[in-house]
């Protein structure tokens, strides 16, 4: 999708759909004039309240506008950039449903951040357009369609244009381009999450990272089973025991042209399908466990976006990957494994596998790269969904500064997070009688004990954070106005790294 910026008058925008955004406070003052220009009665405002993301589709009178349709879209109070992002998501979703190819979105007038925020606003709207336009249809044959689709129906929008004031053109163009890049990186992550296990195994995940590195100029190294065995990554190897597919450990390394302002290591959980292993999951909903590599997808997307945006930080992405299957040779509850760090772990539950592969990757990242910041992203616990629901990720950090930075990035990116405690009193729940640690701490405080387990493998790193994205990474019921993978974490991580300029 082409995203551009224009100064054209509203009457001259020759598009399939023209979106006019209004906040609740501006609705009565500005909407009637805009509607009159389109030859539309202001009586329609009786049914439009301008809530964030609320949309009303209208048709202009003949000869009034060149646009074929008009969408009134609400920005709520209009005070946050995320309200505008939500509006753009709804406009793009409606455009995709209508199978229209060209959309214009008016962002003139009052906006959050004033003139200084023009670039950020344009970026958020562009991200929202990419998000709303996304469709995963690569596995549909079309053989059963009752009516043939238009030739370009599956392509969605071909163009999305932002209308701005002349004084803001330069900043808006920069922001829109950055938003397009982040939006495309998030769409790539969503594609990975939506692919089923028979289409995406560890090797496939590595190939996607390699292709991205070649295209955007950063190094990618893929360690395969023999090399993983040589490194004695006991966590990753133990989870892989029941699989017919070999594991991979992918390392992406983006280096900026100048001196890096910081070195950040991002670790993403890459379990391509999680059956639970011997501690098998219930069959209902198990198919959604194809999304258990959403952390890996977010990391790959974030590294690609950092390279394309030429962020002045060095970004190392690490993805340990395998599926978790209940084969006869699979690890068993009660087994004791030795991780890359040398720490031994009693396997209390084979469905607590993500923390085992992350343990090896975290230790490797700290030892090999000594990063300034160490962050892991994972669909780690159902307990996090119980605590925070399906819209918010849980974060844990041993650094108040880093936790605050991630929280701020969450507000700006629209990918919200909430901090949970890492108190030492939870350590006793992951103690083992036969090994250094147990990989499960029981039902109580499950998301916290998982984070405490991971912390043991950071080797005392002073600026580490764990982000549990189990809730917002995948929408099975359309609760986020979408179904399937969301790519949650890409925008969050990119916004976080932008702060380190």
Are 34 and 114 contained in the same domain?
Answer: yes
- Euclidean distance between CA atoms 48 and 21, whole angstroms: 12
Task: Output the CA–CA distances (angstroms, integers) from residue 485 to 106, 191, 270, 334, 387, in the order listed.
Answer: 29, 8, 14, 34, 21
> Are 232 and 305 members of one domain?
yes
Distance CA 206, CA 112 (A): 40
- pLDDT at residue 255 is higher than 90: yes
Query: Could you tell me the pLDDT band of residue 153, with boundaries at 50, 70 and 90?
Result: low
CA 51, 54, 57, 63 dihedral sign is: positive
Q: Are residues 48 and 91 in the same domain?
A: yes
Task: Give residue-wise pLDDT tens across range 90-143.
Answer: 999 999 999 999 999 999 987 887 777 899 999 999 999 999 999 999 999 888
The answer to whether residue 177 sits within a structural domain is no
Decide: 67 and 60 in contact? Cβ < 8 Å: yes
> In the listed set 164, 194, 224, which residue is the last one of a domain according to the structure?
164
Mean pLDDT of the region 460-480: 87
Buried b (16+ CB within 10 A) or exposed e, 34-47: bbeebebeeeebee
**What pLDDT is stored for residue 156 in this prediction?**
72
Report, as an integer, the average pLDDT of 64-84: 94
- The domain tally of the chain equals 2
Q: Is 33 annotated as a binding residue?
A: no
pLDDT of residue 115: 73
Residue 112: its pLDDT value, please? 84
List b or e across 416-431, with b for residues whose CB sees 16 or more CB atoms inside 10 angstroms: bbeebebeeebbebbe
- pLDDT level of residue 150 (50, 70, 90 thresholds): low
Residues 295 and 406 grouped into a single domain = yes
269 is in an annotated binding site: yes
Residues noted as catalytic? 281, 355
Q: Which of 55 and 114 is assigned the larger pLDDT?
A: 55
**pLDDT for 501:** 65
The verdict on whether residue 292 carries a ligand-binding annotation is yes
Residues 335 and 223 in one domain: yes
pLDDT at 315 over 80: yes
CA 497, CA 313: separation in Å to the nearest integer? Answer: 7
According to DSSP, residue 184 is labeled: H
Give the pLDDT confidence score for residue 78 in this predicted structure: 87
Residue 446 is predicted with a pLDDT of 97
Structural domain that includes position 68: 2-143+154-164
Q: Is residue 178 part of a domain?
A: no
Q: Any idea which of 181-195, 220-234, 426-440, 466-480 has the lowest mean pLDDT?
A: 466-480
Kindly state whether residue 149 falls inside one of the protein's structural domains: no
Determine the pLDDT at residue 376. 99
For residue 143, the model assigns a pLDDT of 87
Residue 138 lies in a domain: yes
Give tens-digit pLDDT for 20-31.
999 999 898 899
Same domain membership, residue 442 and residue 297 = yes
Give the CATH number, domain containing residue 277: 3.40.630.10
Q: Do 158 and 226 fall into the same domain?
A: no
Bridge partners of 5, per DSSP, are 162
116 and 222 fall within a common domain: no
Helices 202-216, 294-309: inter-axial angle, 10-degree rounding: 10
In a domain, 351, yes or no: yes
pTM here is: 0.96
Residue 479 pLDDT > 60: no
**Is residue 184 marked as binding?**
no
Query: Quick one: average pLDDT of 348-352?
Result: 98
Q: Is the pLDDT of residue 474 over 70?
A: yes
For residues 159 and 236, membership in a common domain is answered with: no
Residue 145 — pLDDT band, cuts 50, 70, 90?
confident
Are 467 and 489 in contact by the 8 Å Cβ rule? The answer is yes
- Any known ligand binding at 28? no
| 219 plus 350 within the same structural domain | yes
Residues 381 and 472 in one domain: yes
Q: At what angle do helices 118-133 and 81-98 cross, to 10 degrees?
A: 30
Q: Is the residue at 107 inside a domain?
A: yes
When mean pLDDT is compared across 148-162, 215-229, 353-367, the lowest value belongs to 148-162
pLDDT at residue 47 tops 90 = yes
Q: What is the DSSP letter of 393?
A: E
> What is the pLDDT at residue 432?
98
| Mean of pLDDT over the chain | 95
Residue 175 lies in a domain: no
- My answer on whether 159 and 194 are in the same domain is no
Is pLDDT above 60 for 72?
yes
CATH number for the domain that contains residue 30: 3.40.220.10
Asked if residue 170 is part of any domain, the answer here is no
pLDDT per residue as tens digits for the range 379-415? 999 999 999 999 999 999 999 999 999 999 999 999 9
Residue 152 has pLDDT above 70, yes or no: no
**For residue 28, which of 39, 17, 18, 42 has the smallest C-alpha distance?**
42
pLDDT reported for residue 236: 98
């Amino acid at each position: 999708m082409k995203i551009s910026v224009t100064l054209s008058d509203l009457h001259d925008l020759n598009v399939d759909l023209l979106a006019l955004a209004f906040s609740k406070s501006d609705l009565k003052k500005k909407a009637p004039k805009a509607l009159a220009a389109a030859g539309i009665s202001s009586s329609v405002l009786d049914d439009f309240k301008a809530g964030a993301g609320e949309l009303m589709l209208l048709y202009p009178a003949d000869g009034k506008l060149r646009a074929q349709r008009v969408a009134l879209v609400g920005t709520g109070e209009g005070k946050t950039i995320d309200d505008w992002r939500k509006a753009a998501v709804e406009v793009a979703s409606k455009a995709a449903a209508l199978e229209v190819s060209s959309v214009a979105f008016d962002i003139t007038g009052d906006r959050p951040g004033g003139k200084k925020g023009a670039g950020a606003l344009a970026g958020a709207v562009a991200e929202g357009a990419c998000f709303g336009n996304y469709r995963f249809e690569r596995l549909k044959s079309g053989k059963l369609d009752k009516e043939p689709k238009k030739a370009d129906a599956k392509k969605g929008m071909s163009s999305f244009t932002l209308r701005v004031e002349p004084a803001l053109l330069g900043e808006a163009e920069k922001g829109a381009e950055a938003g397009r890049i982040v939006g495309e990186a998030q769409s790539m992550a969503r594609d990975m999450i939506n692919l089923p296990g028979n289409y995406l195994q560890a090797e496939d995940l590595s190939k996607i990272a390699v292709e991205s590195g070649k295209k955007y100029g950063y190094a990618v190294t893929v360690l395969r089973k023999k090399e993983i065995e040589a490194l004695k990554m006991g966590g990753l190897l133990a989870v892989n025991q029941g699989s017919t597919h070999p594991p991979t450990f992918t390392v992406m390394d983006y280096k900026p042209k100048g001196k890096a302002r910081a070195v950040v290591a991002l670790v993403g959980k890459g379990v391509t399908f999680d059956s639970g292993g011997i501690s098998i999951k219930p069959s209902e909903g198990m198919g959604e466990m194809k999304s258990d590599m959403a952390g890996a997808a977010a990391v790959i997307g974030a590294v690609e976006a950092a390279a394309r945006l030429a962020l002045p930080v060095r970004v190392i992405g690490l993805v340990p990957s395998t599926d978790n299957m209940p084969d006869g040779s699979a690890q068993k509850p009660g087994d004791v494994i030795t991780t890359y760090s040398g720490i031994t772990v009693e396997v209390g539950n084979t469905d607590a596998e993500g923390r085992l592969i992350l343990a090896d990757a975290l230790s490797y990242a700290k030892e090999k790269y000594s990063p300034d910041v160490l962050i892991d992203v994972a669909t780690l616990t159902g307990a996090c969904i119980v605590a925070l629901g399906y819209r918010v990720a849980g974060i844990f950090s041993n650094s108040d500064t880093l936790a605050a930075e991630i929280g701020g990035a969450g507000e700006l990116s629209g990918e919200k997070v909430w901090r949970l405690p890492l108190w030492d009193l939870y350590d006793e729940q992951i103690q083992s009688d036969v090994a250094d640690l147990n990989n499960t701490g029981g039902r109580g405080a499950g998301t916290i004990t998982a984070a405490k387990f991971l912390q043991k493998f950071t080797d005392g790193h002073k600026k580490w954070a764990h982000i549990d994205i189990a809730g917002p990474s995948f929408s099975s019921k359309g609760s986020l106005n979408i179904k399937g993978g969301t790519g949650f974490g890409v925008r969050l991580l990119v916004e976080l790294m932008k702060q380190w300029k």
